[in-house]
Amino acid sequence: MNRLQKTFTSKKTSLITFIMGGDPDLETCWELLKELPHAGADIVELGMPFSDPTADGIAIQKAGQRALAAHTKLKDILKLAKRFRAEHPNTPLILMGYYNPILQYQPENFVRQAKEAGVDGVILVDLPPEEESEIAPLLREQDIAPVRLVAPTTPDERLPYLFEHADGFIYTIAIKGITGAASASAASLQQRVEHLRNFSKLPIAIGFGIRSAAQVRELKDIADGIVVGSALVEVLAQQGVQAALNLVTELAKAAHD
């Protein structure tokens, strides 16, 4: 089994933490990134900053702006990934962002360097399956999982096509809206996750709008993974690295108890 499979198999509910690469600068980001597994994160998502993030709420938008103001480039994110893999050989690492920076970097270069860095999966928010022919075959050749997003508005007839070449896990967007907004009810999410299991055998993670240990505790028996991002980048911005790690420990306790 690969790292993602091992993690989802060994954990009833995996805590997935998102931070923006390069926020507020590369060294501070590294100080947080390297400690996330020690604090309790089971899977780490590292954001690739982009100037026009269509799915992100204000917290992650600001995190991306701080990273770009610090002159963070895609090559820097890949270097962070490589440093992370050297320190944490067993923790899955996902790169998440938008396609334009990868297109400018050239998909072949990105995928090759992501593989060399030990990246396990990629989430490209604005790249539907119909438009992924430049990069999806390259990811599959290198055993990097193309993780699919599924929205509350995604119709059933689209799901088989959407999941046909998905890998790693299914990222279920909890709300009709942007990251960091109010979450959907546990009852509605349970119904949706149970419905999605009819279309895919992959683990299912829930993200967007999950901010607290109480929410994690409420959702942990519904999905295989819980994603927390906006709350974490807000705490980093307002209180620093240690406070962010304290939040991760609190979230992990809620997920694993």
| Residues with active-site annotation | 45, 56
Per-residue b or e along 189-225, where b marks 16 or more CB atoms closer than 10 Å to that residue's CB: beebbeebeebbebbbbbbbbbbebebbbbbbebbbb
* Integer Cα distance of 96 and 179 in angstroms: 13
Determine the number of helices (DSSP H) and then strands (DSSP E) in the chain: 13, 9
CA pair distance 219, 8, nearest whole angstrom: 16
Q: Taking phi first (over 0 means left), then psi (-120 to 50 degrees means alpha), and beta for anything else, what does residue 151 get?
A: beta
What does each C-alpha distance from 19 to 24, 34, 198, 237, 241 come to in angstroms? Answer: 10, 12, 31, 11, 11
Q: What is the DSSP letter of 239?
A: H
- Name the residue type at position 136: A
Tally of CB atoms within 10 A around 254: 21
